[in-house]
């Protein structure tokens, strides 16, 4: 595929999307951003700061509803590559499906009709089902998907369904598709303390295990790889995991937070205890008819906190990508801007 120049970007007002936009503009693309009518454009402009007046010459912003085929026809007209980063991260399962999966189906179906050159779908590493992997093995693109995503959480379920819908359209209607599965994305506005590291309990943090690697990717590295996925040759149909080099463990992350002056109150929960807690939670939820829902289940524990290793070999090879920002620098930038110890 020759280097395309006209991109459609969804989710441009989001944490990752605005960095993808910056990267596309830097790469010389002209970018059409499909946003929701109520999206906060002002904060996107503020993100670019003084650079906006120059960047905006390459940017066109179109508000509308991605679940509306008419709008999708308008925005895909003349587009070489779609970068689809729009998705809901929270809410009820039905709203996650309505906001993430339904728009993906409409957009990709129209894109297939319009013969768009490539669609890059930003999926998630969460779609894997590593429950059957042995502790210590490598999670790469050959790992099977979670057989029961509905038993995970609404977000994972919606991302799994989103991928399935995208792949079906690609196979049935010939839309060239590249699926990118980033790990936990962190950066200036978000911090690093994801649920893969610790769960918040009031003002306390329950450190979950702590000796397993955390599959992190710094948002700028992630955005650069996604843009590469839109322009690399011969990768249609490929699926690529995105994680940075030198992944830290949960304990490392907490140590780095403390060293940079953050006060974190943590209680470590060893892996065996997490599994027992999960058993207890499952049992109690069953016998109490869900008075306390089964939030911690063995299925989830073995997907989220299993000691695994992660590989970015395929991303390096297919996308000709290396994480530009090192772990040390990424942490420095993130922790400087993260004043609070909030978790997500």
Ligand X SMILES: NC(=O)c1ccc[n+]([C@@H]2O[C@H](COP(=O)([O-])OP(=O)(O)OC[C@H]3O[C@@H](n4cnc5c(N)ncnc54)[C@H](OP(=O)(O)O)[C@@H]3O)[C@@H](O)[C@H]2O)c1
Q: Applying CB under 6 A, which of residues 7, 22, 29, 39 lies at the interface with ligand X? A: 39
Of positions 1, 102, 264, 325, contacts another protein by CB under 8 A: 102
Q: In the bound complex, what is the minimum distance in angstroms from residue 70's beta carbon to another protein?
A: 13
Q: Does 14 bind ligand X (CB under 6 A)?
A: yes
Tell me: does residue 202 bind another protein (CB under 8 A): no
53 binding partner (options another protein, ligand X, none; Cβ < 5 to 8 Å by kind): none
**Which residues are within 8 A (CB) of 226 and not within 5 positions of it... i.e. 6 or more apart?**
16, 20, 23, 83, 85, 120, 122, 180, 242
Q: What is the DSSP letter of 247?
A: P
Beta bridge partners of 200: 205
Q: Which of 43, 56, 90, 336 binds another protein (CB under 8 A)?
A: 90
3-class DSSP state of 276 = helix
| CB nearer ligand X, residue 89 or residue 325 | 89
Looking at beta carbons only, is 30 or 88 nearer to ligand X?
88
Confirm or reject binding of residue 176 to ligand X (CB under 6 A): no
Q: Which of residues 136-155 bind another protein (CB under 8 A)?
A: 150
Q: With CA atoms as reference, report the closest residue to 176 among 242, 79, 111, 86.
A: 111
Cβ atoms within 10 Å of 220's Cβ, excluding its own: 21
Residue 106 in the binding site for ligand X (CB under 6 A) = no
Please state at what angle helix 41-48 crosses helix 17-26, rounded to 10 degrees. 50
Taking CB under 8 A as the rule, does residue 291 contact another protein?
yes
Residues 6+ apart with CB under 8 A from 94: none
Task: Point out which residues bind ligand X (CB under 6 A).
Answer: 10-11, 13-17, 36, 39-40, 66, 85-89, 99, 103, 122, 124, 159, 182, 184-185
């Amino acid at each position: 595929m020759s280097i395309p120049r006209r991109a459609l970007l969804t989710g441009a007002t989001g944490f990752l999307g605005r960095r993808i936009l910056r990267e596309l503009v830097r790469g010389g693309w002209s970018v059409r951003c499909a946003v929701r009518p109520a999206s906060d454009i002002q904060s996107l402009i503020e993100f670019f700061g003084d650079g906006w007046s120059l960047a905006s010459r390459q940017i066109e912003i179109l508000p509308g509803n991605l679940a509306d085929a008419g709008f999708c026809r308008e925005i895909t007209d003349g587009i070489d590559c779609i970068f689809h980063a729009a998705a809901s991260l929270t809410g009820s399962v039905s709203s996650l499906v309505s906001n993430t999966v339904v728009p993906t189906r409409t957009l990709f179906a129209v894109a297939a009709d319009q013969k768009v050159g490539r669609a890059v779908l930003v999926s998630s590493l969460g779609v894997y089902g590593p429950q059957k992997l042995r502790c210590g093995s490598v999670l790469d693109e050959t790992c099977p998907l979670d057989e029961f995503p509905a038993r995970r959480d609404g977000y994972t379920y919606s991302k799994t369904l989103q991928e399935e819908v995208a792949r079906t359209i690609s196979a049935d209607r010939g839309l060239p598709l590249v699926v990118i599965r980033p790990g936990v994305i962190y950066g200036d506005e978000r911090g690093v303390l994801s649920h893969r590291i610790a769960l918040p309990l009031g003002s306390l943090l329950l450190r979950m295990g702590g000796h397993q690697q955390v599959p992190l990717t710094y948002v700028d590295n992630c955005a650069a790889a996604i843009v590469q996925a839109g322009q690399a040759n011969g990768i249609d149909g490929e699926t690529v995991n995105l994680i940075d080099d030198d992944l830290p463990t949960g304990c490392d992350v907490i140590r780095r937070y403390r060293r940079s002056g953050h006060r974190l109150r943590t209680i470590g929960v060893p892996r065996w205890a997490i599994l027992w807690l999960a058993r207890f939670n499952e049992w109690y939820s069953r016998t109490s008819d869900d008075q306390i829902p089964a939030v911690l289940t063995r299925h989830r524990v073995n997907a989220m906190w299993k000691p695994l290793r992660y590989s970015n070999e395929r991303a390096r090879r297919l996308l000709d990508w290396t994480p530009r920002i090192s772990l040390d620098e990424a942490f420095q930038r993130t922790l400087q801007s993260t004043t609070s110890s909030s978790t997500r």
